[in-house]
Amino acid sequence: MPDGTPAATPESIPDLVRQAPLSFVGRVTRLGDTPLAAVTADERTAVVKVDEVLHAPDAFRRLAGSEVTVQLSADLDPPAVGDTAAFFTTGAVYGEGLAVDEVGRLPAADVQPHLTLAATTADAMPFSAVLRGIRDEDMTTHAGEADAVVVGTVVGLEKLPGNEDRPVSEHDPDWWRAQLDVSHVESGDVSPGRLAVLYPNSRDIHWYRVPKPSPGQQGMWILHTTEGAEDESTGHALRDAARFQLLDPDDRQPTRMLAVLQERR
């Protein structure tokens, strides 16, 4: 498989990782109990001692050796005290301790290949390769839905003409235009050379994650045909300013992702 990921189980480890921001291998030490005052224990509450974190946000990467309260999924048979398993969870309570809701569970043996692989690589966590595979799959899908995919360097930036002195209001995208020097066209009706691309320069919550090109920046750009709506400040259709625009947080990728895209297509 690509990137060295061990074969997934029938339950699909990538599917579980997509659902669960935190997963770990742990041993059930108690059932129907919890040390957390903020949690009411019932027959589906387990205390699990974490042996190994599989993937997690930065704040929870060092849970190994600690106890976590797990509210067990109603769709799965509860484990027995002493059982070891891989738990896939979402956060529930964090303060005096950690309580999580279970969204999936696998036998520990099913994730052992990932633990073995991680021990021989520079990966930060056992599921790092799984996360890369998910990222690459999502990028490939996103590129397939785009109107053009190119590799190029930013050689010019400008605020849309007519907008230079206008104050930016709340939720205003503040459209700017980037000039790309396109060196490679992967898909779309585009030729190598100069290509104008619109992007929202606003840092408003609606727009802050959309790529903001910078001078000299190289990358693989995933482009969308500019919508025909008018720019309220000028009364001109945005499509008159540039054929393509950036709209999604994933619209700019490192240049090396071209090889990943070509391999997966």
Specify the residue for token string 């994933």. 250
| Amino acid (1-letter code) at residue 187 | S
pLDDT for residue 6:
43
The answer to whether residue 234 scores a pLDDT higher than 60 is: no
Model pLDDT for residues 15-51, shown as the tens digit of each residue: 999 999 999 999 999 999 999 998 999 999 999 999 9
Report how far Cα 209 is from the mean position of its chain's Cα atoms: 12
Asked whether the beta carbons of 127 and 57 are under 8 A apart, the reply is: no
Asked whether the beta carbons of 182 and 148 are under 8 A apart, the reply is: no
pLDDT bucket at 238, cuts 50 / 70 / 90 = confident
CA 58, CA 224: separation in Å to the nearest integer?
33
E strands in the chain: 22-31, 45-55, 67-71, 84-94, 98-107, 148-159, 175-187, 193-200, 218-225, 244-245, 252-253
Average pLDDT across the chain, whole number: 90
Q: Which pairing describes strands 98-107 and 67-71: parallel, antiparallel, or unpaired?
A: parallel
Model pLDDT for residues 112-133, shown as the tens digit of each residue: 999 999 989 989 899 999 999 9
Query: Looking at residues 171-179, what average pLDDT do you find?
Result: 91
Closest CA to 28 of 52, 46, 10: 46
Count Cβ atoms within 10 A of the Cβ of residue 119 and give its class: 0-12 exposed, 13-18 middle, 19 or more buried: exposed
Model pLDDT for residues 4-15, shown as the tens digit of each residue: 444 444 458 999
- Going from the N-terminus, what domains does the chain have, and what CATH number goes with each? 2-138 (2.40.50.320), 146-264 (2.40.50)
End-to-end, the C-alpha distance of the chain in Å comes to 15
The answer to whether residue 162 scores a pLDDT higher than 70 is: no
